[in-house]
Amino acid sequence: MSEIWKDGRFLPADAPAVAADDRGLLLGDGLFETVKCRDGQALRWRRHRDRLAEGAGLLGIPLPAALAGIEAIAGELLRRNGLADAVLRLTLTRGSGERGLLPPAEPRPTLLLSSAPLPPTRPPARAILAATARRDERSILARVKSLNYLEGVLARMEAAGRGADEAILLNTAGRPAEASAANLFLAIDRQLVTPPVAEGALPGTMRAEIMATERVLERPIEIEDLARASEAFLSSSLGIRALVAIDGRSLADGETGPVTRRIAAAIERTERPG
């Protein structure tokens, strides 16, 4: 039986773990990180930790002391679950509270860690432009990875219903902001471009990794840019995924293009040191 870890204890994964008055459940009052692991080691951990801390600061959620030792706990969880290459999910909520929106004066946050086997590399994605959901680029929620993820869920359901793998969400100005759970990169005129965070793009950890090693132009993307792009790809903590069709129109002849292949390979090398 697989296990999870919560607030200091390992528990069976299918056991009830969270109290009915946890604000994460009742109000989506919390944050999460999805962390790729290789050989039992969390990748890009510093980026995940920093983003979680920044989000917690924006929401006013105190960081639990256990967070300092969470890498070792994650390693132990993977061992217990017999996983080497894995995906960790770290969930931080504001913890239990009285009825109502206002948080308790001294919140006791809930920290939860679960793991799953690393999914196999996915084939190139075919995306739609989501009609059911969009990003409000001026909302704090567009800048933090919060538990308010229903727009992403609806966008992905819409994609599946239209026979696609992914959904690109437009912002309130009608410009592509990101995918349901990934950032968007386009190659236009030999230039790599991605929407800025101010456009409603989540500050993704893989996005940051790419921007630290590649020349990337951050600028608002228009829908027309999607048609002009020679290649497109999605980035998430799990990796790079080519985007080969948007709303039925093929990109890069429906194949993973050379820029996408090169960047995916460069990321892959950083994940397998030695």
Residues in the site for a copy of itself, rule: CB under 8 A? 4, 6, 11, 13-29, 32, 59-60, 87, 89, 91, 93, 98-103, 112, 114, 116, 119, 132-134, 136, 138-141, 146-154, 156-157, 160, 172, 180-181
Is 88 or 259 the residue whose CB approaches a copy of itself more closely?
88
Question: CB of 212: closest distance to a copy of itself in angstroms?
Answer: 27
Shortest approach of a copy of itself to residue 234 CB, angstroms? 13
Q: Do residues 238 and 117 make contact, with C-beta atoms less than 8 angstroms apart? A: no
**75: Cα within 13 Å, side-chain hemisphere:** 7
- 76 contact partners, CB below 8 Å, separation of at least 6: 5, 10
Pairwise CA distance, residues 168 & 133, whole Å: 9
Instruction: Between 68 and 173, name the residue whose CB sits nearer to a copy of itself.
Output: 173
CA pair distance 19, 141, nearest whole angstrom: 24
CB distance 173 to 83 below 8 Å: no
Decide: 78 and 86 in contact? Cβ < 8 Å.
yes
CB of 153 to a copy of itself, least distance (A): 5
Chain centroid to Cα 81, Å, comes to 23
Three-class SS state of 188: strand
Nearer to a copy of itself by C-beta: 92 or 187?
92
Closest CA to 138 of 63, 61, 199, 77: 199
What is the closest distance, in whole angstroms, from the C-beta atom of residue 263 to a copy of itself in the complex? Answer: 23
Closer CB to a copy of itself, residue 101 or residue 212?
101
Q: Are 211 and 219 in contact (CB under 8 A)?
A: no
Tokens at 82, concatenated:
């017999």
Least distance in Å: CB of 214 to a copy of itself? 27
To a copy of itself, the closest distance from the beta carbon of 93 in angstroms equals 8
Q: Which is nearer to a copy of itself, 28 or 40 (CB)?
A: 28
- Minimum CB distance to a copy of itself smaller for 17 or for 223: 17
